Amino acid sequence: MNGGPSGFNNAPVTRTFVIASAIFTVFFGIQGRFNKLGLSYEDIFRNFHLWKLIVSGFAFSSAPELMFGLYLLYYFRVFERQIGSNKYSVFILFSMIVSSLFEVLALALLKDPEKNLITSGPYGLIFASFIPFFFDIPVSTRFRVFGVRFSDKSFVYLAGLQLLLSSWKRSLLPGICGILAGSMYRLNIFRIRKAKFPKFVASFFSRLSWPSVGSSSATQGRNVVGSMPSYARRQVERNYPSSVPSSIDPPEDSIAMLVSMGFDWNSARQALVHARNDINVATNILLEAQSR
């Protein structure tokens, strides 16, 4: 499971966040200020270093955390493709703000004098993303290793576990806060799942980030089969002779499964209609249309 097509196609917000996180981490690493990025009771309630709440949401405190963190952020781009860049921007903001509030509350309750009780990094966003990952991303393959059952999702869980325990309680606490934030989003607290930014705010990330390689968002909403060149369309029809458009609307869960693989909603629906709601045939149609 790779989260859909490679690269940051149709995921400009994720691309911007990944680049920002890498730049912040490298910058503070060069400055040798990793040990000053974490949050503590002294920072928030006595010295009022509120700027750390913002900076610590981007920069990781070590190279291994950066490696696993960027991998998970890159994988979770599938959610931006699924719900759109606008709503995903809301998800990022909500996850980071709510998880930061939980972290501040934890610091107030623990009153631990230890410096940097909470490690830095976008733990709130990463572990909030595990909630929709658990509920909305289907398992595509299963296998056994020494009698133990695994799935393609297991590798993502293992990477998350490694990141969660990377600094023991310093990373465990922000990870739990992120899971709580993701659960609140899932429960649609304050109807947050319907919230959207104004269009000019959402498009800011597209203008800010570098052009993506491969297919672009301009392909969204096209007629997957109808827009193919005649020779390619004949090949699809030859390979899938039963693919006569169906009058039955495709099931929403089938569309959602294709969207979770990185295809846009309209193309997924059209492919299912042409494939008579056979999700395997629809997937092949979409992949052939994408590779032409």
- Asked if CATH classification 1.20.1540 holds for the domain at 12-208, the reply, yes or no, is yes
Residue 28 confidence (pLDDT) above 90: no
The mean pLDDT value for 142-159 works out to 92
**Tell me, what's the pLDDT at 126?**
98
- Measured CA to CA, the distance from residue 86 to residue 252 in angstroms comes to 21
Residue 165 confidence (pLDDT) above 90: yes
The mean pLDDT value for 155-176 works out to 95
Q: Are 85 and 216 in contact (CB under 8 A)?
A: no
Would you say the CATH fold of 220-291 matches that of 12-208?
no
Q: Packing angle between helix 85-110 and helix 169-186, nearest 10 degrees?
A: 130
pLDDT digit string (tens) for 182-235? 999 999 999 999 998 887 765 665 565 555 444 444 444 455 655 554 544 555
**Tell me, what's the pLDDT at 220?**
44
The CATH number of 220-291 is 1.10.8.10
- Measured CA to CA, the distance from residue 203 to residue 200 in angstroms comes to 5
Instruction: Give the pTM.
Output: 0.75
pLDDT digit string (tens) for 239-279? 555 545 555 778 887 887 887 777 778 888 888 888 888 88
The ranges assigned to domains in the chain are 12-208, 220-291
**Tell me, what's the pLDDT at 218?**
40
* Spatial CB neighbours of 117, under 8 Å, sequence gap ≥ 6: 38, 39, 40, 41, 107, 110, 169, 170, 173
Q: Is 262 left (phi over 0), alpha (psi -120 to 50) or beta?
A: left
